[in-house]
């Protein structure tokens, strides 16, 4: 149909109207294109999310602990500015649970013993790099060189302490943990520790005393401190012997990405 133009003598031609359904069909086609592209992006995202991290670049360790120190029960280092006696002489023995690994190194059932003295100065710089007096790390003789190296890296992560004196050695380590007692010793006789978990039970003698919601060093999580009285000694270059002092069992986890060697702080250094 033609209509007179506002300008005399001019005519305007109207475009043909779209056929019924033509615009809607075009819209559907465009929508399908967008949906297809979106689906590809979503799928790609799911694939990336579902792809596990390279095991060789991560660590995930869960360890059980038999621990005692020279502090009274419970260790004042956890709540005070420093140990009451300006020293905290300790024997900490760790057994790594099945599935624990550092990179490609399997740490299942590995044993590690740490003895030392935090000293009385660490509270001046709490946190990574805090100063400590001395420490000796004892590897189990059954550990491979790769496992020993991995265990030391775990120790650096959990205990980022700069020791005035630090050394490593190896021994045969025994570990026993039961409901009422825990016991670990070195075959050489250099160190031994026993925990009495029964003497701390009160008022319910059937339920252990457990401290929850308390950080254990630089771990990601723990299941609580099961309190006990410790009797332990160390007869290395430095010597100490403690009776009925602070002790506990604890199971903790630490995990993360392995940092390049150049980026690691010089902790636990000799």
Is 65 within a domain? yes
Q: Is residue 62 part of a domain?
A: yes
Could you read off the pLDDT of 130-186 as tens digits, one per residue? 999 999 999 999 999 999 999 999 999 999 999 999 999 999 999 999 999 999 999
236 shares its domain with 150: yes
User: Could you report the per-residue pLDDT of 41-77, keeping only the tens digit for each?
Assistant: 555 555 444 456 688 899 999 999 999 999 999 998 8
166 shares a domain with 226: yes
Residue 38: pLDDT band (50, 70, 90) is low
At 19, is the pLDDT very low, low, confident or very high (cuts 50, 70, 90)? very low
* Statement to judge: residues 42 and 72 lie in one domain: no
The pLDDT of residue 24: 56
32 and 89 inside one domain: no
Write the CB contacts of 191 (distance below 8 Å, at least 6 apart in sequence).
Answer: 91, 113, 115, 138, 185, 232, 233, 234, 235, 236
Buried b (16+ CB within 10 A) or exposed e, 3-34: eeeeeeeeeeeeeeeeeeeeeeeeeeeeeeee
For residue 86, report the phi and psi dihedrals to the nearest 5 degrees: 55, 30
- The count of structural domains within the chain is 2
161 contacts 130 by C-beta, under 8 angstroms: yes
Q: Say if pTM beats, i.e. exceeds, 0.85.
A: no
Residue pair 90/68 in contact by the 8 Å Cβ criterion: yes
Residue 218: exposure state from Cβ atoms within 10 A (0-12, 13-18, ≥19): middle
The count of C-alpha atoms lying within 13 angstroms of the C-alpha of 42, restricted to the half-sphere facing its C-beta, is: 6
- Ramachandran category for residue 22: left, alpha or beta (phi over 0 → left; psi -120 to 50 → alpha): alpha
Is there a single domain that holds both residue 104 and residue 143?
yes
Is residue 85 scored above 80 in pLDDT? Answer: no
Residue 97 lies in a domain: yes
| Inside any domain, residue 158 | yes
Which residue range is the domain that position 40 belongs to? 21-49
């Amino acid at each position: 149909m033609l209509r007179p133009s506002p300008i005399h003598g001019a005519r305007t031609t109207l475009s043909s109207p779209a056929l019924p359904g033509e615009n809607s069909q075009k819209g559907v086609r465009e929508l399908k294109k967008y949906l297809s592209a979106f689906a590809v992006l979503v799928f790609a995202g799911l694939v990336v999310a579902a792809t596990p991290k390279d095991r060789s670049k991560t660590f995930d360790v869960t360890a059980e602990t038999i621990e005692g120190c020279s502090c009274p029960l419970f260790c004042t280092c956890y709540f005070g500015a420093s140990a009451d006696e300006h020293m905290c002489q300790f024997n900490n023995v760790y057994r790594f649970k099945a599935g624990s690994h550092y990179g490609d190194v399997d740490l299942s059932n590995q044993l590690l013993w740490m003895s030392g003295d935090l000293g009385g100065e660490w509270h001046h710089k709490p946190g990574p790099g805090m100063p400590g007096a001395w420490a000796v790390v004892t590897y189990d003789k059954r550990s491979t060189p790769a496992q020993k190296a991995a265990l030391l890296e775990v120790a650096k992560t959990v205990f980022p302490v700069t020791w005035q004196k630090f050394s490593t050695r190896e021994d045969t380590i025994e570990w026993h943990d039961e409901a009422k007692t825990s016991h670990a010793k070195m075959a050489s006789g250099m160190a031994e520790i026993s925990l009495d978990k029964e003497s701390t039970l009160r008022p319910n003698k059937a339920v252990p005393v457990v401290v929850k919601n308390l950080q254990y060093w630089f771990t990601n999580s723990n299941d609580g401190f099961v309190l006990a009285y410790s009797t332990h000694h160390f007869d290395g270059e430095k010597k100490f012997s403690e009776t009925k002092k602070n002790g506990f069992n604890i199971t903790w986890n630490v995990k993360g990405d392995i940092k390049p060697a150049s980026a690691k702080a010089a902790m636990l250094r000799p």
